[in-house]
Amino acid sequence: IKKIAISTGGGDCPGLNAVIRAVVRTATLKYGWEVVGIKDGLQGVMDTTTKLIPLNRHNVAGFLQKGGTVLGTTNRGNPFEIQKEVDGKIVTEDISDDVVENIRRERIDAVVGIGGDGTMLIMNQLYQKGIPIVGVPKTIDNDLLSTDVTFGFDTAVAIATDALDRLQTTAASHHRVMVVELMGRYAGWIAMHSGIAGGAEVILIPEIPYDINKVAELINQRMKREGFAIVVVAEGAKPLGGSHSTLEKAGSSVERLGGIGYKVAAEIEELTGAEVRTTVLGHVQRGGSPTAYDRVLSTRFGVAAADLIHEGGFGRMVTLRGTEINDVTFEDAIENLKFVDPEGQLVRAAEEIGVCLGR
Ligand code: F6P
């Protein structure tokens, strides 16, 4: 190995730059490799003049604290299905052979791909085509089964908890119900953790279809007792017997976010007569500097990814199991999502202190 490349794919996440920094420092200091960053997803390798940037221990200074990804990212970065506009129409094209050829032409001996399940799927396909590639898991949603924790989750929970703390005081002052919609398309991890940490009375998650009458009942009691209430709704939450509000609206997050929060708020207002306000926290949860926990996890993942390349562990993704860094094959990495267990300890603890999960 002489030269490696790093790419970030899918939605951004606090800690991405800390991973990049750790890969670069390990690659250069420990192994003496050259490192380039590929801008705007793996297909950026097609544009060698503007999208390949040299990375070294000096120009990654300050990356630890920096939010987002300095390499840029895209949700439309699948080289097997690149979307292009031709004569005003969107058409898809497979440019994966060109991507593979360019990686070889640039003498890139190995690639570190940082991304979520979608990115791992693409990287597995590129690995099958002969690209030596290792993965680092990323999502604020913490819903990848093969790793106990993903970086970005702790930061998202901290941001959401801060928002709930702030909403408590304004809710109490006005005797209102505050409905807060949080991210979590498939799994309710952010909603559960920040809901518990922020003292919500109701937490609605995709894993437990909610009965709005149960929610209204609890709000009525709470309004009589305390005069205000906080309701957390994960973006993917769905009513009992109803359809999934989020999954059906695939595509634009403009449509996706802000649907369920307003729906729940309107129903609570109608059923309880309370004054209700809605906050959709949205991408604030993904922005800004990572927490100390996420900086440490990102650093450990970055070091492990460089070590994996050194060991020739291609087609694998680094993971956290308990307190130890480990790795799994891409196939295992993408196999399943990790959901909140409706009968598990976390949900039980919430219910035992009187939080309503909508059932
Ligand atoms: O990382 C996943 C996620 O946080 C989801 O919870 C949310 O639906 C999504 O990102 C929104 O991302 P984007 O607007 O970039 O599609």
Tens digits of pLDDT across the chain (359 residues): 999 999 999 999 999 999 999 999 999 999 999 999 999 988 888 888 889 999 999 999 999 999 999 999 887 778 999 888 889 998 999 999 999 999 999 999 999 999 998 899 999 999 999 999 999 999 999 999 999 999 999 999 999 999 999 999 999 999 999 999 999 999 999 999 999 999 999 999 999 999 999 999 999 999 999 999 999 999 999 999 875 444 444 445 555 666 899 999 999 999 999 999 999 999 999 999 999 999 999 999 999 999 999 999 999 999 999 999 999 999 999 888 999 999 999 999 999 999 999 99
Q: Which of 2, 8, 1 is nearest to 286 (CA)?
A: 8
49 belongs to an annotated ligand binding site: no
Q: Is 141 noted as a catalytic residue in this protein?
A: yes
φ/ψ bin of 229: left (φ > 0), alpha (ψ from -120 to 50), beta (otherwise): beta
Cα 14 to averaged position of ligand 1 atoms, centre (Å): 13
94 belongs to an annotated ligand binding site: no
Distances (CA, A) of 249 to 16, 210, 240, 257, 339: 27, 19, 18, 10, 20
Contact (Cβ atoms closer than 8 angstroms) between residue 358 and residue 210: yes
CA distance 6 to 24: 9
To the nearest 10°, the Cα dihedral for 267, 268, 269, 275? Answer: -150
3-state secondary structure of 339: coil
Which residues in 26-53 are b (16+ Cβ under 10 Å) and which e? bbbeeeebbbbbbbbbbbbbeeeeebbe
Cα 298 to averaged position of ligand 1 atoms, centre (Å): 19
Distances (CA, A) of 291 to 26, 55, 154, 318: 22, 24, 7, 20
Ligand 1 atom closest to the Cα of residue 185 is: 6
Residue type for 78, please?
N
Whether 74 is in the pocket of ligand 1, judged by its Cβ within 6 Å, is no
